[in-house]
Amino acid sequence: MIGHNLIELDAVMAVARRKSFRAAAMELQISTTALSNLIAKFEKQLGVRLFNRTTRSVSLTDAGRNFVEQIGPALVEIHSAMDSAMSQQEVPSGTIRINAFPTAAREILEPVILEYLRRYPQVHIDLVTEGRLLDVVADGFDLGVRSADFVPSDMIAVPIGHARSYVVVASAAYLEMHGKPRVPLDLLNQTCIRIRLPDGGIYKWHFEKDGEPIQIDVKGPITLDEASLSRTAVLHGIGLGLFMESDVRDDIEAGRLIKVLEDWMKPVAPLCLYYPGRKNPSAAFKAFITLAREFTAASSADPEPRRGSAS
């Protein structure tokens, strides 16, 4: 019954406020005839007369007075909400909810998310880390972050960063005591930190060389489900660990951890932001996608990953 731009309600309020169809029409920037027809049609839809009209004056009926008193405050709030929503098309503001698996969140936190917050302080980022795959739309997220090969086919994907890789590392003390594995099968005689997947299964370590893939069901004294915990165990010499390189790059560069089996590690898919197709995205959303593209372009221009960047 009521148009999407609330023109009928605005018309009633303007006439009630101005007590004149001519003055109200000027305020609304429409003709007096158009305004009169609009009010008459609206009264017909309601089934009640809102205004008494003569050639000299306009006044509210009793029903009209009650109607104006009831809708007036609500209409002010509705217009305020509409103005607030439209302002988000101009200046980045509001909240962006992002779902990512933990390693991906660590990779994009500094170069993308924190940089975004520095540029757009009126935006709040709600970042939720989740190991399992979920439906970002059903769970109320604006964006997801996953490896490109895990992005649902019905989503728009934006690559972020470049190709990444796993590494197997150990402390110098561990390798001095147990020796360095030369091929993946050597891990069967080594102590390793086992990795529990979000679905409860145990991850088999994947390797490939010259087109020859191999999976190793490693053994060890502890099973963990979070990379930062595994890193601590490896640093203390408990065993070998498998990580995304970005999670232990600083330790490798500082000499705290040593890479092994490097020639068996192949690059894995880059990270992607993904989201459902949407019309009229907010300024905050558009700015986040733009920054992600900037980061990817800068990463691709670097021959080596930068410290703090995605690997």
pLDDT per residue over 275-302, tens digit each? 987 677 888 999 999 999 888 887 765 5
Domain(s) of CATH 3.40.190.290: residues in the chain:
165-268
CA 37 → CA 3, 25, 34, 168, distances in Å? 15, 11, 5, 77
Are the C-beta atoms of 173 and 237 separated by less than 8 Å? yes
Given this model, what pLDDT does residue 262 score?
A: 95
Q: What's the pLDDT at 261?
A: 96
Which residues belong to CATH 1.10.10.10 in the chain?
7-87
> What pLDDT does residue 187 have?
97
For the residues 88-113, what does the mean pLDDT come to? Answer: 86
7-87: in CATH 1.10.10.10: yes
**How big is the chain by its Cα radius of gyration, in Å?**
31
pLDDT band at 81 (very low <50, low <70, confident <90, very high): confident
Any idea which fold 94-163+269-301 has? Answer: D-Maltodextrin-Binding Protein; domain 2 (3.40.190)
Query: For residue 157, what are the contacts with CB-CB under 8 A and spacing of at least 6?
Result: 148, 151, 272, 273, 274
Residue entry with tokens 């406020």: 17
Q: What is the pLDDT of residues 178-227, one digit of tens each?
A: 999 999 999 999 999 999 988 889 999 999 998 889 999 999 999 999 99
pLDDT of residue 86: 63
pLDDT at 309: 32
Q: Residue 32: how many CB atoms within 10 A of its CB?
A: 14
Q: Which CATH class is domain 165-268?
A: alpha beta
DSSP-H helix ranges across the chain: 7-18, 21-28, 32-46, 62-87, 102-108, 115-119, 172-178, 227-235, 245-254, 283-301
Instruction: Report the pLDDT value the prediction gives residue 89, as an integer from 0 to 100.
Output: 61
Pair of tokens at residue 149: 């090969």
Q: Each residue of 36-78: pLDDT tens digit?
A: 888 888 888 888 889 988 777 888 898 888 898 888 888 877 7
Higher confidence at residue 27 or residue 265? 265
